[in-house]
Chains A and B, each alone.
Chain A
Amino acid sequence: MDDKGSPGSSLHGVRGKEQTFAFSVAFDPTIASDITTKFALPVDSEHKAKVFNIFSLENPHMRTFHLSWISFFTCFVSTFAAAPFVPIIRDDLNLTKSDIGNAGIASVSGSIFSRLVMGVACDMVGPRYACAFILMLTAPSVFCMYFVSSAGGYIVVRFMIGFSLATFVSCQYWMSTMFNGKIIGLVNGTAAGWGNMGGGATQLLMPLLFALIRRVGATPFVAWRIAFFIPGFLHVFMGLLVLALGQDLPDGNLGPLQKRGDIAKDKFSKVLWYAITNYRTWIFFLLYGMSLGVELTTDNVIAEYFFDRFNLKLHMAGIIAATFGLANIVARPFGGVMSDIAARRFGMRGRLWNLWILQTVGGVFCICLGRSNTLPLSILSMVLFSIGAQAACGATFGIIPFISRRSLGVISGLTGAGGNFGSGLTQLLFFTHSKFSKATGISLMGIMIIALTLPVMLVHFPQWGSMFLPPTKDMTKRNEEYYYCSEWNEEEKQKGMHQGSLNFAENSRSERGNRVMMSQIQL
């Protein structure tokens, strides 16, 4: 027995083996831990992980994280694999500027549709099958690039490969099922950022593959086609890994859980209805087009821009273009982290302000990029533009999981589709027709970003407020349970189908922000 106050007694009980995590809510008393389960990481009442340990492969949370982001990365690599080759492909297939522009639009338009379908699929059959399906069914179109012999064929194949960008939705959805809301900004941002990085990695990888294949003896016009086999292999490999090692939810796969009755099977029409009647869905459809959309557009045009404007060699233009996409490795998680940090003090209002600031700053540097006449200034503007736009993407998905609990998949899908729609639109308006130069197009795109980011000011949550308005004064509507359970009617509540939403509502109370919670305690 120790006497109180004797030397060393204050350290009794401390084992010195506590794991410290850079980002964790494991010791947050406002989130109750579920200690009856056998997970390696601490979890909340929905069995979602409360800590994010990047270097772990534990099943199911971190393993899901790694499977998700690598699948998404693979799809980005294959979708933008043609971009660094455009100077060669345009000679091989005798393409015009319009053909190149149309192919760029096609590469991002396919996934407008596929992201919507993916959102539905995640809600209905689970993210594991949804992800594996899209990976393995788009693999043949990647291999088909080898056979392309005309402008039309080139456009069609890029369109079909573009379907694979739907893995974004399964990635974000999967993260939302596995990780707690307080760290969701960081987790979603990291997973999507590392996936988006594929758009930059491909600008380095494909020219490298091209050089290797040429060294073996192939002519340029054959080498670029063979290079596409590598992304194709990756598709198949990742698809098989996801099927073998992944699971939909912390407790298991969706099918067996639904059969056991642990999770209610929901009706598609209801899920869709609550997604499309929520006005916030459409504002984010627009907003994401101005962060992810412009990022995809830039992935498609930036290599050719540097090649033509500053007369750089192909591999040099590829390296510079790559840095744009590679900035995602930190920029997008940064946006997510900033969102989480802002939320700690200011709640959802902080998240909204954070998004507006980051996206507008991105727009400003986009204008600078178009107006820069020297190479160093151009590169600097490009890097700052990439950080702004990509951080805004991360910040967006720090907010999306809170718009709806029932229709998370469809809303994620619609937002993702909005991103691609924005990309198709900006490519069509600014980079397909010869009315103005690429440089002018880039500046105009920057102005469009700033203008179309303003609607974020209209997003209002009754329980948390908006950028300029506080939460509603009506006390019945001013709680999380009211908001999330309003998606279920009385009959469904009778059956207890809303239990998941109730759990989520409790876990989302942190979005009130410390400032509000402190003032409530003082009252």
Chain B
Amino acid sequence: MEMELPGFSFIVFLLLSCFATSSQGAISFSSLQRTRILTTSPSQGQVLKAGEDKITVTWSYNTTYQQATDSSYKRIKVKLCYAPISQVDRVWRKILDSLEKDKTCQFKIVAKPYSLSNNCFTWTTERDIPTTTYIVRAYSYNSAGKEVAFGQSTDAHKTINLFEIRATSGCHTIIDIAAACLSAFSTVSLFGFFYLEKRKAKSIQQK
């Protein structure tokens, strides 16, 4: 599925690239060009079970860019990222322009050497992925290990192709029963003790 680079985002990238950070190494997201096209198997609104369901990611080069742009790409990393709704009122998942500090993409799907031909990977969601809404993003790295370009499975505003992953409850019947029994024991033994003491006091009084 070809996705065209929206014109205004290109202007935004141009403007924001003026604020790109210095050679110290902190790359800003806004300085990256969106040269990857990413498609993923979950459709909009689909709910996946962590630890069981799979995601298939396919990525390719965006041919609206000239071929020469990708000569510096050495490696590509595909990551699972939070959708905006998962980041609301959650400072620990904050979106920041500096990629070093940005907390949007915290889970790695796959990391591979860069290759020109169309690429594809099927990933089984891990069991301890948080329960929330996600998108998929791929970053291209140069030989110095710095991000130089990206692609994502949704539009620039991250409003389409959002999917959910839900953690399995992991509750086992035996432990359920143990919890219930211990709670009952606590209450019963307390009142039992109380009742026995009252009875003892009464029998002493009667003597």
Contacts and interface: CB of A to CB of B under 8 A. Distances in A.
Interface of A: 87, 90-94, 96-98, 129, 132-133, 136-137, 139-140, 143-144, 146-147, 149, 218-222, 225-226, 229, 232-233, 235-236, 239-240, 243, 255-256, 259, 308, 434
B131 A90 contact: no
Interface in B125-146: 127-128, 130-132
A220 B131 CA distance: 13
A97 B90 contact: yes
B8 interface: no
B187 A136 contact: yes
Nearest to B170: A222
B91 interface: yes
Contacts of B91: 97, 308, 434
A147 B92 CA distance: 25
Contacts of B90: 90, 96-97
Contact of B131 (A94, A98, A136, A222): A94
B89 to A, nearest CB: 4
Contacts of A87: 92
Contacts of B182: 139-140, 143, 229, 232-233, 236
A434 B183 CA distance: 38
A147 B171 contact: yes
Given A90-B90, A137-B190, A308-B91, 7 more contacts: A97-B89, A129-B194, A140-B182, A147-B176, A225-B171, A229-B178, A233-B182
Contact of B189 (A225, A232, A240, A256): A240
Contacts of A92: 130-131, 167
Contact of B128 (A93, A149, A220): A220
B194 A146 contact: no
Contact of A136 (B127, B130, B167, B186): B186
A219 B127 contact: yes
A149 B176 CA distance: 14
B179 interface: yes
Contacts of B189: 136, 236, 239-240
Contacts of B175: 146, 226
A111 B123 CA distance: 47
Minimum-distance CB pairs A-B, first 6: A91-B130, A140-B183, A222-B170, A96-B89, A139-B186, A136-B190
Given A90-B92, A240-B189, A308-B91, A143 B183 contact: yes
B186 A219 contact: no
Contacts of B201: 255-256, 259
B190 A133 contact: yes
Contacts of A140: 182-184, 186-187
B188 to A, nearest CB: 10
Contacts of B167: 92, 221
B116 interface: no
Interface string B165-202: 00101110001101110111111011001100000010
Given A146-B175, A229-B179, A91 B131 contact: yes
A232 B183 CA distance: 9
B68 interface: no
Contacts of A146: 171, 175-176, 179
B88 interface: yes
Nearest to B198: A255
B205 interface: yes
29 contacts: A87-B92, A91-B130, A91-B132, A92-B130, A94-B86, A94-B131, A96-B89, A96-B90, A140-B182, A140-B187, A143-B179, A144-B179, A146-B179, A147-B176, A218-B170, A219-B51, A219-B128, A219-B170, A221-B127, A221-B167, A221-B170, A229-B178, A235-B186, A239-B190, A240-B189, A243-B193, A259-B205, A308-B92, A434-B89
Contacts of A239: 186, 189-190
Nearest to B190: A136
Contacts of B127: 219, 221
Contacts of A255: 201
A50 to B, nearest CB: 31
B185 A236 contact: yes
A242 to B, nearest CB: 10
A386 B146 CA distance: 44
Contacts of A147: 171, 176, 179
